[in-house]
Amino acid sequence: MKKIAVFPGSFDPFTIGHEAIVKRALSLFDEIIIAVGANPLKKSYYSLDTRKRMIAKVFSSESRVRVDHYEGLTVDYCRKHGAKYLLRGLRTSADFEFERAIAQVNRAIASDVESVFLLTIPEHTPINSTIVRDIIRSGGDASRFVPSALNLKDYRGEEI
């Protein structure tokens, strides 16, 4: 049976930190679904469609990576797509505490879905979407923090 992992997140925008986690996870799983959480109550800088297009561009030559979006419970999405693994990245102890609570609750409601964590490489520890977004919004050059396949000028954000 195919080992499918879901990598859920806001990805507003997708960074080199996210990219590295997915690339490393490709040696563990047969297929990875990058699932953008579509939360109608949470405003994003890049629209859902733009975020999906950006991620699809990054993995355009990797047939084992799919890009999708979802609403509702992440574990329900995993079950619907036959994914037994939920992939997350860890940067700091704050990430760990946050992720621990989510993973333990997820396990309580869906013990058939296993959370798997990959520790970021040290250089990616300070990179997070909020900071990258702030640089972009302020007209700075954030290119070194996003995957090299992306030219940020090709994507428009929305004022939030």
Q: List residues bridging with 36 in a β-sheet.
A: 9, 69
Per the annotation, the verdict on 18 as an active-site residue is yes
Return d(Cα 25, Cα 32) in angstroms, integer: 8
The rounded distance, in Å, linking the Cα atoms of 160 and 151 is 21
Q: What angle do CA 59, 80, 50 make, to 5 degrees?
A: 35
Q: Give dist(CA 109, CA 37) in Å, integer.
A: 19
> Is there a catalytic annotation at residue 91?
yes
Contact flag: residue 114 with ligand ADP (CB under 6 A): no
Selecting among 42, 43, 80, 100, the annotated active-site residue is: 42
Regarding 127 and contact with ligand ADP (CB under 6 A), the answer is: yes
Measured CA angle at 134 (ends 86, 15), to 5 deg: 35
- Between 52 and 88, CB nearer to ligand ADP: 88
For residue 119, give the nearest of 160, 77, 89 by alpha carbon: 89
Q: Please report whether residue 69 would count as binding ligand ADP according to CB under 6 A.
A: no
21 is an interface residue for ligand ADP by CB under 6 A: yes
Using the rule CB under 6 A, is 18 a contact of ligand ADP? yes
Binding of ligand ADP by 68 (CB under 6 A)? no
- In angstroms, give the least distance from the CB of 142 to ligand ADP: 13
Determine if 95 is a binding residue for ligand ADP (CB under 6 A). yes
Binding region for ligand ADP (CB under 6 A): 9-11, 15, 17-18, 21, 88-89, 91, 95, 120, 124, 127-129
Give the catalytic positions in this structure.
18, 42, 91, 129
